[in-house]
Amino acid sequence: MTDHTALRIAGDRLWSTLTETAQFGAIPGTPRGMCRLTLSEADVAVRRWLIDAATAIGMTVTIDKLGTIHARRPGSEPGLAPIAIGSHLDTQPTGGRFDGILGVLAGLEVVRTLHDAGITTRHPIEVINWTNEEGARFAPAMVASGVFAGEFTLDYALAQTDRDGITLAAALDQAGFAGAAEPGAHALAAHFELHIEQGPVLEAEGIEIGVVNGVQGIRWYDVVVKGQTCHAGTTPMALRRDALQAAARLAVAVDHIGRSDPGRSLSTIGLFQAYPGSRNTAPGEVRLTVDLRHPEVAGLDLMEVTLRDRMAEVERETGCTIALNPVWYSPPVRFDPGVIDAIAGATQRLGYTHRTMPSGAGHDSVYTARVAPTGMIFIPCENGISHNIAENVTPAQATQGANVLLQAVLDYDRRTA
């Protein structure tokens, strides 16, 4: 079998592709800001760009019923399932140009490199753009890969609505991306995902590549605190049931829960809205979200128990009622040893410094890991910033990550049936 360990991607071309596609959804007046919500005009434009780029090098494009794009290059052994390189092209409302995007465009660059070199892998290579990974327009996040893996039903996903009441099904129809293929109808030999770290560890330690061994568990909740709306000037403090004061006490408790297991537990309140929203009225209702994360199920369980206990205490202290509604749960994930080994081996052969690490954020690989051997590659990002218009990587970092991706896929293809 031919040795392709000397093969490298064209770093300049990858960077040019990242720059070119950043026009779709660029936020004016920012150096790198992106707003490319799922199935928005900008998302549709970049999807069509990807399809054109893939078909230009002979890839066959299939779109499933959730709009996920599967661009496949045939292998020399047609009976083998494809090795997938997947991530997403949608962004946060004020996101950057690398989160998810790098993973898809690096996958395209891998295939372009193989095409230019005249190399045919044993397995087909499939570049995937998963729909609605971010969950910024339609909750929950990673919904398309979740349906692919059997976590959600197709009907459930299509019925999800955005803040304007538009269903995912309607948005797909309007965008022209309601495909015919059934999500999850074909097997994957493996799933590789290149991503920015979205944290500060690699940069702080001066390490070039993160070999990701798994993803911590995530639980999302909607919380509604109800008290009694009253006049700010006529209701004595002792007689109030102020929903905002109750919610504030709960917010402090959530912060303490996130600090309870240093280096492992995390907690966030991302939305906090008081009603009726008048400066001279004590709020009668507050709605907020809670995000809990931990690498172990037992840790998540303890965090939730602590949260519920503190809720009961706040209810007794304030006379308000608090409802906790679980919205989404992504259990902790351990990636496949064979894929991890291929990534680590490629990193070592390329001479890049590396460390094994978990992912603190959720990714489509969380769900693909349920149905296929899966692994991830991290590169550093400037100051660990992501989901932010300041998100940034260097051309050298993007090139290094893509080279690891290329060599890991080639290695996995050589030694896997």
| The model's pTM | 0.86
pLDDT at 169: 98
pLDDT at 1: 58
Low-confidence stretches of the chain (pLDDT < 70) are 1, 417
Q: What pLDDT, in 10s, does the model give residues 351-378?
A: 999 999 999 888 999 999 999 999 999 9
**Helices in 218-368 by DSSP H: which ranges?**
243-258, 297-318, 337-350, 365-368
In the block, tokens 């309870």 appear at: 260
Cα distances (angstroms) measured from residue 345 to each of 67, 83, 192, 342, 348 = 34, 17, 14, 5, 5
Distance CA(279)–CA(8), nearest Å, equals: 61
Distance CA(12)–CA(24), nearest Å, equals: 20
Question: Are 310 and 223 a contacting pair, CB within 8 Å?
Answer: no
pLDDT at 291: 97
pLDDT at 319: 97
13: left (phi over 0), alpha (psi -120 to 50) or beta: alpha
Q: Where in the sequence of the chain do the CATH 3.40.630.10 domains occur?
A: 11-215+332-415
* C-alpha closest to that of 400 among 391, 389, 408: 408
Phi then psi for residue 143, to 5 deg, are -70, -35
pLDDT at 257: 98
Residue 317, CB-side half-sphere exposure with 13 Å CA sphere: 13
Distance CA(166)–CA(175), nearest Å, equals: 12
* C-alpha closest to that of 366 among 320, 398, 323, 328: 328
- Arithmetic mean of pLDDT over the chain: 96
Q: Where in the sequence of the chain do the CATH 3.30.70.360 domains occur?
A: 217-330
pLDDT at 416: 79
Give the dihedral of Cα atoms 266, 401, 137, 243; nearest 10 deg: 10
What CATH code is assigned to 217-330? 3.30.70.360
Amino acid (1-letter code) at residue 275:
Y
pLDDT at 360: 85
Looking at the domain 11-215+332-415, which fold is it? Aminopeptidase (3.40.630)
Distance CA(191)–CA(160), nearest Å, equals: 26
pLDDT at 417: 67
pLDDT at 263: 86
